Amino acid sequence: PLGNLLHDEL
């Protein structure tokens, strides 16, 4: 899925 390696934290 797209969110797999998405870094939503800063």
Name the site residues for other proteins (rule: CB under 8 A).
5-10
Cβ proximity to other proteins: between 1 and 10 the closer is 10
Least Cβ distance, residue 8 to other proteins (angstroms): 5
- Smallest separation (angstroms) from other proteins to the CB of 1: 13
Token couple for 7:
């870094």
Nearer to other proteins among residue 1 and residue 6 (C-beta): 6
| Residue-by-residue DSSP string for the chain | -GGGG-----
Question: For residue 3, which phi and psi values (nearest 5 degrees)?
Answer: -70, -5
